[in-house]
A and B are shown apart, each in its own frame.
Chain A
């Protein structure tokens, strides 16, 4: 069975004989109200408010007057926002590309190999999933220690195997630092695609591969014409999630380069720019500009996610 994207949620067949279990409006409301209150006050209201904030000028925490798209124009054209936004954005894209390459080569390979294991599968899954479950903050700080030029074990190993030339000040060099962030992010993230691909491969009925093997298909043909088409929806889902995750990345860059993306903005990302603009900048209109940034980010993430989902669906139809 292919995993349709998205399959319909199974609906109950509501027959007259079960009419007795349905609830009246009043009792339903009692059940839903606590969740609804929490959601409305702490999620829905702040989201709508954040949108409205971006259309006003601000003096500190006091709303000034309606400025239309003024804040957006400032954000996109005025320095330092424009160049910082562009720098951060390009780093987010690198994070996405890095994780995407890792998960569709290494991740897919590992998941395929693991599928054939019965006894050791759970053991390996546990080990591979661990970095993903540990806090990104811990992972970031841990790698900053591992890569330390003073006592870093990574450089000690490189020197130990005779690669003196590669024992570099990884996080001090602006051209290297961003690649460290890309690598650490992909390394931590990989456990998740391994589990998801594993679940998707496990969902492919054995009978199909068996039938194709009996017809004389090679291992590669089996992967290309059976496994891959059936995995396309999963690859799509993970790509969307990886994209969202890379655009929202903050903890690892924060741990490796601080809130200003040091050295020299080399590890800056959009969420850090948002944080700095909102809470660390001296600009009296920081509320307006950071809200504009949040809105831009919000719409961008949503639009691209929907876009990727569409493309994958089309690819899915072609591969069958």
Chain B
């Protein structure tokens, strides 16, 4: 669901954000060449790793390949290659099967909610890291509990509340809900980061007459950029992928995001195979691009709390 499970590691392991260890890696290089072991073992390890790499990636490659073929090609040759490339299925899915609408909704919802949760979380995290008040430490603990609890089980009251406000089928309500759901993970990662920053910088700013807002904006925000990058990229993935909240809260086709759009699409176009593959590909491509551009942030988000 939207609070991705990976985020929960953060609270279970409850440790510092991953620290760069470039120096150590460099030191290891020489040793590891020797440790790779005898030739037979290396071949076996290569076969094993490449073997599973194929198992992991083949279905995804096949998805793209079949999206570029025709119905007849798929029926006669299930394993054939897309020669010649045929983009009509993408066109059909995009226009006639309303993937354009779903895609735009997904982009607006994902970008909006990641921005919302990051902005409110970075402010709260800073306050948590600098306050001495028990009251606010209590609130921080409350936020953290949201990492462990299956909060999506509370969907019914949420649905009633939004229904009374006439906000079901309004993607703005999805932005608010995902924004709130991002708070536990984002405040956790950012507060840990703020706590590790040296206090002297802020102190200097404060002595020069900056108030807490000015110190936060001009001194602290530029310093937490790496943690902000992790939080932004990492929240993108579960929100883009989620189907549970839009399935229940979005009742009108025009407000569907891609994963819910797919459920409708698979019911209606179940016999047009290349178009089905094209729909799945459209839903996946932005995610793969984000992942390839920000592998580092995603992996450090996934393993946050584990690397020590």
Contact B78 A156 (CB under 8 A): yes
Looking at the complex, which one of A128, A199, A244, A302 makes contact with B52 (CB distance below 8 Å)?
A128
A5 in contact with B241 (CB, 8 Å): no
> When A36-B124, A39-B146, A298-B149 are in contact, do A61 and B160 touch as well, CB less than 8 Å?
yes
Q: Which residues of B contact A305 (CB under 8 A)?
A: 148
Min CB distance, B139 to chain A, in Å? 6
A12-B199, A27-B213, A138-B280 are known contacts. Are A35 and B36 too (CB-CB below 8 A)? no
Is there an interface contact between A130 and B291, defined as CB atoms closer than 8 Å?
yes
Interface presence of A182 (CB below 8 A): no
Docked complex: A245-270 residues within 8 A CB-CB of B: 245, 247-248, 250-251, 254-255
The stretch among B53-61, B82-90, B93-101 that forms the contact with chain A is B53-61
**Complex contact A245–B130 (CB within 8 A):** no
Residues of chain B lying within 8 A (CB to CB) of residue A298: 149-150, 153
Give the residues from 35 to 89 in chain B that come closer than 8 angstroms, CB to CB, to chain A. 35-37, 45, 48-49, 52-53, 55-57, 59-60, 62-63, 66, 74-75, 78-79
Once the chains bind, are A127 and B153 in contact (CB under 8 Å)?
no
What's the Cα separation between A109 and B216 when bound, in Å?
A: 45
B157 and A50: CB pair below 8 A? yes
Interface contact A134-B273, CB-CB below 8 Å:
no
Greatest chain A CB density within 10 A among B156, B157, B299 is at B156
A10-B196, A113-B45 are known contacts. Are A106 and B156 too (CB-CB below 8 A)?
A: no
Answer whether residue A166 sits at the interface, using C-beta atoms and an 8 A cutoff: no
Judge whether B32 and A133 touch: CB under 8 Å: no
A92 to chain B minimum Cβ distance, whole angstroms, is: 13
Q: Does B302 contact A (CB under 8 A)?
A: yes
On chain B, the number of residues with a Cβ less than 8 Å from chain A's Cβ atoms is 120
Is the C-beta of A7 less than 8 angstroms from some C-beta in chain B?
Answer: yes
CB contact list, B240-286 vs A, under 8 A: 240-244, 247-248, 258-259, 262-263, 266, 273, 276-277, 280, 283-284
Tell me whether B156 and A126 are in contact (CB under 8 A).
no
Q: Is B262 a contact of A138 with CB atoms below 8 Å?
A: yes
Q: Is A314 in contact with chain B by the CB < 8 A criterion? A: no
Q: How far is the CB of B182 from chain A (nearest CB, A)?
A: 9
| A interface footprint on B201-242 (CB within 8 Å = 1, 0 otherwise) | 011001100011101100000000000000000000100111
Nearest A residue to B192, CB-CB: A9
Q: Does B111 reach chain A (CB closer than 8 Å)?
A: no
Q: Any chain A CB within 8 A of the CB of B108?
A: no
Let me know if A126 and B308 touch, CB within 8 A: no
- Point out which of A23, A117, A156 has the most chain B C-beta atoms below 10 A from its C-beta: A23
The CA of A301 and the CA of B148, in the complex, are separated in Å by 10
- Nearest-neighbor residue (CB-CB) of B304 within chain A: A199
Across the interface, A6 reaches (CB within 8 A) one of B13, B133, B151, B207, namely: B13
Residues of the B chain whose Cβ atoms lie less than 8 Å from the Cβ of A61: 160
With A6-B13, A237-B9 as given contacts, are A43 and B180 in contact (CB-CB < 8 Å)? yes
Instruction: Report the bound CA distance from A203 to B36 in whole Å.
Output: 19
Q: Are B56 and A206 in contact (CB under 8 A)?
A: no
**Residues of chain A within 8 A of B195, CB atoms compared:** 9-12
The chain A residues found within 8 Å of chain B, CB to CB, are: 1, 3, 5-12, 14, 18, 20-25, 27-28, 31-32, 34-36, 38-39, 41-47, 49-50, 53, 61, 106, 109-110, 113-114, 116-118, 120, 122, 124-131, 133-138, 141-143, 145-146, 150-153, 155-157, 160, 187, 190-192, 195-196, 198-200, 202-203, 206, 233-234, 237, 240-241, 244-245, 247-248, 250-251, 254-255, 274-275, 278-279, 287, 290-291, 294-295, 297-298, 301-302, 305, 309
Given A141-B276, A142-B63, A152-B78, 17 extra CB contacts under 8 A: A6-B13, A10-B192, A21-B206, A23-B212, A27-B213, A28-B127, A35-B183, A46-B157, A134-B241, A134-B284, A135-B258, A138-B262, A146-B59, A153-B79, A199-B18, A251-B243, A297-B150
Binding site for A on B (CB under 8 A): 1, 5-6, 8-9, 12-16, 18, 28-29, 31-32, 35-37, 45, 48-49, 52-53, 55-57, 59-60, 62-63, 66, 74-75, 78-79, 116-117, 119-121, 123-124, 126-133, 135-136, 139, 142-143, 146, 148-158, 160-161, 176-177, 179-181, 183, 187, 192, 195-196, 199, 202-203, 206-207, 211-213, 215-216, 237, 240-244, 247-248, 258-259, 262-263, 266, 273, 276-277, 280, 283-284, 287-288, 291-292, 295, 298-299, 302-303, 306-308
Closest 4 A/B residue pairs (Cβ): A135-B241, A49-B157, A31-B127, A46-B154
